Chain A
């Protein structure tokens, strides 16, 4: 079974500052990794995903994440945040099965608060 830990429940940051949202996972098998964002009163939107290949993954809205197998981490970063990035961010993991079916295991989320 897999599990995901997002240690920071809330991250306050000033506009145009860099940010890192931390995600660590646990699994006995190979995994796929995902970051989703939830804006207020909206559904979850896929930001980026790691399936294989390059460990640095670029996503939408200027976000990127780096897969570190030895540290079992998949931290999300953005060099300069905007007010509009204020949202809840969820890290998720699934087994890397080539079945087309994914059971995602989510972390508890990190609320990013961007202030002027």
Chain B
């Protein structure tokens, strides 16, 4: 596609429910990143994929968070048993290998009530 596409744009869920956030990167971009941005803060790194391989997941806050990219294209970030503190903007970005500076999507705003 022309840009990084994220869906849904907004998600309201009840505490304890699982949510899945989707990221469709720019065609041909092999690197894919997930970030989380709390209100009034800058984005914080969650995890990174190179093709289908998850190269770094050091930013995932706990084991309720997981991500996958099974075919090296679309990625899903899953949060199990959501808590109110999970409420944030979740941002996906992609890039060509060796290209310094990502392209970000518009994000998914998650609200846990």
Contacts and interface: CB of A to CB of B under 8 A. Distances in A.
A104 B43 contact: yes
Contact of B42 (A92, A100, A102): A92
Contacts of B40: 108-109
Contacts, number: 60
Contacts of A109: 40-42
7 contacts: A32-B100, A43-B3, A43-B91, A46-B101, A100-B31, A100-B97, A109-B40
Interface of A: 4, 32, 34, 36, 41-46, 49, 51, 90, 92, 94, 100-109
- Interface residues of B: mostly helix, strand, loop or mixed? loop
A44 B91 contact: yes
B45 interface: yes
B87 interface: no
